[in-house]
Each structure stands twice: as C-alpha cells, then as structure tokens.
Amino acid sequence: MDQHIAETAGYHDEQWHSHGHQKESFVTKYIFSQDHKTIAKQFLITGMFWAVVGGALSSVFRLQLGYPDMSLEWLRPILGGWITETGQLDPEFYLAMITMHGTIMVFFVLTAGLSGTFSNFLIPLQIGARDMASGFLNMLSYWFFFASSVVMLISFFLETGPASGGWVIYPPLSALPQAMQGSQGGMTLWLVSMAIFIVSSLLGSINYITTIINLRTKGMTFTRLPLTIWAFFLTAVIGVLSFPVLFSAALLLIFDRSFGTSFYLSDIYIAGEALSHQGGSAILFQHLFWFLGHPEVYIVMLPGLGITSEIIATNSRKPIFGYRAMIGSLLAISVLSFIVWAHHMFVTGMNPFLGSIFMILTLIIAVPSAVKVFNYLATLWRANIRFTPGMLFSIGLVSFFISGGLTGIYLGNSAIDIQLHDTYFIVAHFHLVMGAASFFGMLAGVYHWFPKMFGRMMDAKLGYIHFWLTFVGVYLIFFPMHYIGIAGFPRRYYSWTNFDVFNSFTDLNIFVTIAAIAVMASQFIFLFNFFYSMFKGRVAPANPWKSNTLEWTTPIRPEHGNWPGTIPNVYRWPYDYSKPGAEDDFIPQNVPFSQTLESNFPHENDLIGLEKEEEGIVIDENETH
Amino acid sequence: MHPHKFALWLFIVSILMIFASMTSAFIVKQGDGSWLDYNLPSMFWFTTAVIITSSGLLQWGYFAAKQDQLKKLKILLAFTIVLGLVFLVGQWYSWVQLVSMDVFFVGNPGGSFIYVLTGLHAFHLISGILFLIIVLISALKNKVHSKNLVRIEMCATYWHFLGALWVYLLVFLVFYH
Ligand code: HEM
Ligand SMILES: [Cu+2]
C-alpha cells in the first residue's frame, strides 16, 4: 500500500517537474499547450464556433420550411450558386444543410465541444491531479479534432457541396457518387473528417479513463468522486467501446465508394442501368452505424447529466439525493445503451420477434433515466435554491430530459414507432432529450465554471435573459413538431406544399421558424456575455458558489500544475451541504473529520483515527527530489 | 499500474472493438445468403507459426532484459522484427493465393471480408513493428534493462495481443468462412 502511494506520487512528481520548470513561450502556452485547462478552452472555443455554424444552417433551412416562397436572394453573397435563379434554395443544398447541421451538432459540438471541454477541464481539477495522464496525447486529441474540423469545413466549399445523405449517411445513397451531388467529394471528405474525429475522440477517452483510474489524490475513492467525474468516466468508456465500430462502418463504406466492393450494395438500378454490385446489404450498415449511434446519444447526454448533478446539489445547498443510485443509474444506462440499437431500425423489415426483444430492452432504459429524474427533483424539493444562471440551465435540462424522455417511451414501442418513424415526431423527441438537454448542460457548465476558467464572473442578468429566451423558445420550437409529426409530416423534406394534407400546417411551420430564429438570435447574448466577461467581468472570488469540490481549492487563476503546493487530500464525499450542526452550509472535500466534530455522524467519528494514521504515510511530492 | 500501460490496454480494447464489429458484420452478412464459399489459403498456417514464434522470441528477449543480458536482448528483438516482416510478406502471399483461387477483393462480400480482416490486421501489425523498432533503438543505446522495463513490457503486451488477435481471426475464419 505504502509503496503504491509512493509510486503514484513519484509519477506525479516526475511528470509535473518535467514541464513545470520550463519557461513557456506563447506557442507552448496557448497553441500547442499540454495543460489540460488550455486544451479544454480550445475545445470550448472550437465547439462554440461550430455551434454558430450549425445554428446558422438551421436558421436558413427553417426559413425554407416556414416560408417556402420567400426570396433568399440576399443569401447569394454567401451561398452563391446554391440559390437558384428564382431566388430559392437549391433542393440538394437543403439536404446538404440538414446533414451538416446534424453532423456538426452531434459530433463537433455535443461530443467534442462538450466532453472535450468539461472532461478536460474538470477531471484533473476535481480528482486532484496535476494534469492528464498524458498531456501530449491530450494535445494530439485536440489537434486531431482541429484537423477533422478543417476537413469538414473544406467540404462546404466543394462545387458539388458537402455530404447530403443525412447525418446517419445511409447507403446506398451515400455510397454511390451518381446518386446525388452530395455523395461525391463531399461524402469523401465527410468520411475522412470522421475518421480523424474518431482518432481524436479515442485519444481523449483513453486519457480520461486512465487519469480517473490512476491519478486520483489520496482519499479520493470511487464513492467520493463527484458525479461529474462518474459521468465523464462512463462517457469515455462508452466512447472507447463504440467509436471503433463507427470506424468499421465508415471503412467498409469507403471501400464500397472508392474501391468498388459491395459490402452494402446489391441489385441497384440507377437511371435504368444495373450496377455491378452484388451480394451486399444496406441493413448491415444500419446495424453497424446504430451500434455506435445509440451509445453516441448517451455520450452526448451523460456529461450534461453529470454537470447537472453537481450544479443542482451545490445550488440547492443539499446533498444530492441518492448519490449511489445516481452512480447505479449511470452504470445501468451505459450498459443498456449497447443493447438497444435496433430501435432505430424497426421499419427495416426485421423479424417482429427480434423487434419485441429490442422493444423491451429499450423500455428498460426508461427506468434508470427515471431514477435520475426522480433524484434531481428530490434534491430540488424544499431546497434553499439559489437561482444562478448555471442552476437555471440545469433545471432546464431536467425539464427537457423529462419531456423528451416521455416521447422516447412512445417511440420505443415498435407498433407506434412504425407510424411515427421518420416524421417530425422523431425530430421533436431527440431535439428535446438530446439536443436541447445537452446544450443546456453545456451552457450550465460554462456559467458555473467560467470563474475557474477565466478568473472572472459572467454577468448574471444577461444570463437570466439568455436563459428565459432560450428555455421558452426551445419549447415553442419543438412542442408543435410533435403534432406535425403525429399527422405524418415526414422529416428531411425540402418542400411539402405539393401535398394538400399538410397545407393546414403552414401557420404552425411559420410559428416554429420565427421561434427558431429568435432562439438563435438570443444566443448572441451569451456570446457577448462570454467574451465580454472574459476581459471585463467582475473578478471572481476563490469559491464563488461555495462549492465542496477540489477545483475551488486552487488559486483563482491556477497555473499549469493546478496547485502551487501539495495536492490536497480528500476526506469526505463532495455533497456535505447544509450538514446539521456544521458552522457553514458547506464542508469542502479536503476538510478532515477531525476538524468538524460538531457535525460528524457517529461512523464519521470512527474515521478520524484512520485519518491520523494515513497522515503519517503521506508522501510529500517534493520530498523525492 | 503505470498509467501508460493502462492506456495501452484501453487502446487494445478499442482495436478489439474494431475486429469484434468486423467479425459480427461478417456473420450478419453471411446470414443474409448469397455468400461465396472458398478454401482458406494454405499460407495462413505458415504465417501463424511465424507470428507465434515471434511472440516467443520477444518474451525471451524480455526475460533477457530483466536479467540485464543486453546483447541477447538486442539479438532477440532484431529477430522478432524480422519475423514480423516475414509475417507481413506471408500475408501478402496469402492474398496472391486467394486471387489464384478466384477470390477477389472487389466482388462478393464473402471474399472482400477476408481481405479487410487480414489487411486491417496487417495494418496494426505494422504499428507493432514500428513499436518494436523504437524499443530496439533504445535497447541499442542500452536504455532497456532491468531497471527500465516499462517500454519493453508495453511493447510485448501489444505484440502478444496482435499475435493473439491473428489466432482469433484464423479460428474465426476456419469456422465461418
Ligand atoms: C426514455 C428513453 C428513450 C427511449 C425509450 C428512446 C427511444 C427512441 C426510439 C425508439 C427512437 C427511434 C425513432 C425512429 O427513428 O423511428 C429514438 C430516436 C432518437 N433518440 Fe431516443 N429514446 C430515449 C432517450 C433518448 C436520449 C436520452 C437521447 C439522447 C441523449 C435520445 C436521442 C435520440 C436520437 C438522436 C434519435 C433519432 C436519431 C435519428 O434518427 O436521426 N433518445 N429514440
Ligand atoms: Cu437510440
């Protein structure tokens, strides 16, 4: 045991001093930095850039859906040839835009932007480590992400446009260049970009898991970890297991596209001509894709849930309700997420018996999800709530998780799904439960940890305005979509005005479009607040939210290495808020029980002896030098 | 466990997932029918023997490093690398054999899959050889010895994994081709 501690401490030491003493130049400090905090900010800024691009795309295609006759001539300076002679949006470019919107939001914003930012920033700070297990691989992870971003961006400027087959890139549409313009160069770049993205994501995840398992400070047992860390940990585990499968799917697609194999292709006629591809199966792609695809939706969701647990407990001034149940439900969700993928494939002609099995497994996921919701509500119940902007966004997340999760239960039933599949009902479901909820998790995280990131506070008033406009707006956008979807309105259609049945929805579509553009516009309040506060915001106190976790024990602007002296030890779980008998309404994790005799429970008093013993074998990091 | 070793294991898990998904895809596709039947190239038996021998040599080299027999270590490492290259050449000839049996990469997926599986494995094996070369270079500088084993341990783990992976693929192909 002693030896083990010495080993880890020695490791810390060696790693830390190898770069701690060097003078950092601008390039090593801000560009090719190996400091997890800087890398986190790089992910955040890149993610924000992509969020703006993805949002702008959605505004344009919402205009098309709300006002199909509108002249978009004013977009010609940007979109050029994609605006037709009559001033309309090119139908193929419409498909390109929804494809890019989905890809950007799911992978670049809510995977890289969210996990990349908060896993990087919070893991070392909250577990008490100097940095990630490998700063170098961490840096590579960002630059691979950057490279994949560049490739994806380039695809916008191809003459034939970016990929257009939907974010799920189903073959044969995506496999045959002659099928549509977007399946030419754009699709190739999409695949290249995603292959690089997968490498980036794997490097990141491997680092997160290794760091959490190996570099926790003394006393930080798994049952004392903040729920944020549990969520990031399981997100990374899901990533390591599922992204390689997307790689396989993409690789076979690359072979089909560029080398003429037939993994996904068979019996295809284009323009009356038979293709030579024989023996493949398009359904095979769907299996491979959704084996990643469903875990991916939880890769997007879990970090937000972790962030929310932390923020809700802190601002309710109460211990999180059911800490172990929260961990258990995260574990259950992670395991189950790998065995439900075929609920995206109920209409592929699968054996109804198999369909029923996937239906039952899918519905079981609702149980751990409901446990989480119940625990959030129980934590909020009769709490002394402080409505900080971060808290509001966290509560917003819970609201979206409920309303979007409920429709998931409908969709999980194959008999209902066969009617609702590929309608706007699906769009409503996943935008609430995944899109809006994770976005709110990300925003909550930014508001909450901004003081730690930049040493300044964001403006709370602007935060409130931002919250209410966005929260109400999101419901105004996505609630009506349920009705349109139940009526059978298909998703991914450029125009519906040729169908008489759907003409009665014109007003509703206009309404949704206005709400969408309003929400998009209110995000600029956030962007202003973010960049303004970075330079001009009120200087932050050391622990602005009176929180228990370790990151608030660092200096206000931590240097590379995080703690100037030794790393604090941990003696308790992170949720000792409003403990009866305690002086303050919070007791940070690094306060030993021997200093809080007035509030200890009997079994905690028993731990005091242990604390003393352990103190004897603490190895001072600098001692080895 | 040393954090870098731990990371290596995670890396191995992700590679395993690639091959697990590929072999599952193989089974699913086969279940669809319209499958090409063929015999496995006899070359596979030779390359399997080569890769297993190379693993043995590397392990022997590792023991040598543990006992600070540096000269033996260098020779064994070099031989491991040579056998790795022989394996790659052998795999190439197995493709030649496949072509002579009219099993092509472009054509029925039944045939394409065997190229993908072996090609993907060969690709990873090249990364293993690069790793071996790095260790050999540091061994030549006498930097691998009983007090500095982490690198050769990681290299051995990876190399044994690649060997085991090949054996898995072979057994899989014998039963399912
Ligand atoms: C109560 C739990 C949930 C259930 C039972 C459920 C069920 C389903 C089902 C059956 C579908 C397929 C609909 C179709 O295409 O016909 C679906 C689609 C989807 N769900 Fe959920 N879901 C749940 C929670 C979630 C969560 C938490 C997320 C994300 C964080 C999510 C994200 C998505 C996405 C992105 C799609 C659509 C993918 C696409 O076709 O483009 N769902 N859901
Ligand atoms: Cu799903």
Q: How far is A219 from chain B (nearest CA, A)?
A: 18
Distance CA A242, CA A338 (A): 8
Per-residue DSSP letter, B105:
S
Q: Is A362 near ligand 1, meaning CB less than 6 Å away?
A: yes
A490: helix, strand or coil: strand
Predicted confidence at residue A160, as pLDDT, reads 92
Mean pLDDT of B119-131: 97
Question: Residue A423, SS3?
Answer: strand
* Structure token digits, residue A340: 């439900």
Q: Which residue of B has its CA nearest to A244?
A: B18
Residues of B in contact with A244 (CB under 8 A): 14-15, 17-18, 21
Q: Report the gap between the CA of A285 and the closest CA in chain B (Å).
A: 9
pLDDT of residue A499: 79
Count A/B contacts: CB-CB distance under 8 Å. Answer: 100
What is the least distance, in Å, from the CA of A621 to any CA of chain B? 17
Instruction: State the DSSP string of A207-253.
Output: HHHHHHHH-PPTT--GGGS-HHHHHHHHHHHHHHHHHHHHHHHHHHH
Q: Which residues of B touch A205 (CB under 8 A)?
A: 10
- Per the CB < 8 A criterion, the answer to whether A308 and A397 are in contact is yes
For residue A289, give how far its alpha carbon lies from the nearest alpha carbon of chain B (Å): 11
**Whether residue A365 has its Cβ less than 6 Å from ligand 1:** yes
CA triple A73-A74-A77, angle to 5 deg: 100
Q: Is A364 exposed, middle or buried, given 0-12, 13-18 or 19+ CB atoms closer than 10 A? A: middle
DSSP annotation string for A314-339 = HHHTSPPTTHHHHHHHHHHHHHHTTS
Task: Give the CA count within 13 Å in the CB-facing half-sphere of A479.
Answer: 11
Q: Where are the alpha helices (DSSP H) in A278-413?
A: 282-316, 323-336, 352-380, 389-412
Helix (H) or strand (E) holding A274: strand A273-274
Minimal CA–CA distance to A233: which of A327, A137, A129, A324?
A: A327
Answer whether residue B70 shows pLDDT above 60. yes
Q: Is B148 on the interface with A (CB under 8 A)?
A: no
Q: Is the CB of A337 under 6 A from ligand 1?
A: no
Gap between the Cα atoms of B144 and B73, Å rounded: 9
Instruction: Find the A374 Cα to ligand 2 centroid distance in Å.
Output: 22
Tokens of A617: 């074998």
Q: Is a pLDDT exceeding 70 seen at residue B103? A: yes
Q: How far is CA B158 from CA A134, A355, B47, B127, in A?
A: 19, 40, 18, 10
Q: How far is the CA of A408 from the centre of ligand 1 (A)?
A: 6
Which member of A134, A281, A287 has the closest CB to residue B4?
A: A134
SS (H, E, C) A539-597: ECCCCCCCCCCHHHHCCCCCCCCCCCCCCCCCCCCCCCECCCCCCCCECCCCCCHHHCC
**pLDDT tens, position by position, A311-338:** 999 999 999 999 999 999 999 999 999 9
Q: How many CB atoms neighbour CB A219 within 10 A?
A: 18
Q: Is the CB of A291 under 6 A from ligand 1?
A: no
Tell whether the model's pLDDT for residue B163 goes beyond 90: yes
Q: Is the dihedral of CA A422, A425, A430, A435 positive or negative?
A: positive
| Helices A323-336, A282-316: inter-axial angle, 10-degree rounding | 170
B7, A260: Cβ pair inside 8 Å? no
pLDDT of B68:
93
User: Is the minimum CB–CB distance between B12 and chain A shorter than 8 Å?
Assistant: no
Residues A343, A358 contacting (CB under 8 angstroms): yes
Please name each of the domains of chain A with its CATH number.
2-268+278-536 (1.20.210.10)
**Mean of pLDDT over chain B:** 94
Closest CA of chain B from A263, distance in Å: 5
CA distances from A239 to A118, A196, A438 (A): 15, 15, 17
What size, in residues, is chain B?
177
Q: Collapsing DSSP states into helix, strand and coil, what is residue A83?
A: strand
Q: Which of B112, B115, B117, B124 to mutate to test the interface with A (most CBs of A within 10 A)?
A: B112
Q: Is A303 in the pocket of ligand 1 (CB under 6 A)?
A: no
pLDDT value of residue A81: 86
A132-141 pLDDT per residue, tens:
999 999 999 9
DSSP character at residue B145: B
| Distance between Cα A362 and ligand 2 center (Å) | 8
Low-confidence ranges of chain A (pLDDT < 70): 1-24, 615-625
What is the CA(A170)–ligand 1 centre distance, in A?
A: 17
Residue B142 Ramachandran class (φ > 0 left, ψ -120 to 50 alpha, else beta): left
Complex ipTM value? 0.94
B12: nearest CA partner in chain A:
A240
Q: Which residue owns the Cα nearest ligand 1 atom 8?
A: A408
- Per the CB < 8 Å rule, is A291 touching B112? no
Domains of chain B: 42-176 (1.20.120.80)
From B11, which residue of chain A is nearest by alpha-carbon distance?
Answer: A206
A306: Cβ below 6 Å to ligand 1?
Answer: no
3-class DSSP string for B146-157 = CCECHHHHHHHH
Q: What are phi and psi of A495, to 5 degrees?
A: -150, 140
Question: Cis ω on the peptide bond leading into residue A172 (within 30° of 0)?
Answer: yes
Q: Which atom of ligand 1 is nearest to the CA of A411?
A: 10
CB < 8 Å from A in window 63-92 of B: none
Decide if pLDDT at B150 tops 50: yes
Residue A539 bridge partners (DSSP) = A456
Residue A423 φ/ψ region, left for φ over 0, alpha for ψ in the -120 to 50 degree band, beta for the rest? beta
- Phi and psi, residue A32, nearest 5°: -95, 60
From ligand 1's centre to the CA of A412, what distance in Å? 8
pLDDT of residue A14: 41
Contact across the interface for A261 and B28, Cβ inside 8 Å: no
Contacts 24+ apart (CB under 8 A), A2-10: A2/A617, A5/A218, A5/A617, A5/A619, A6/A619, A8/A214, A8/A215, A9/A619, A9/A621, A9/A624, A10/A624
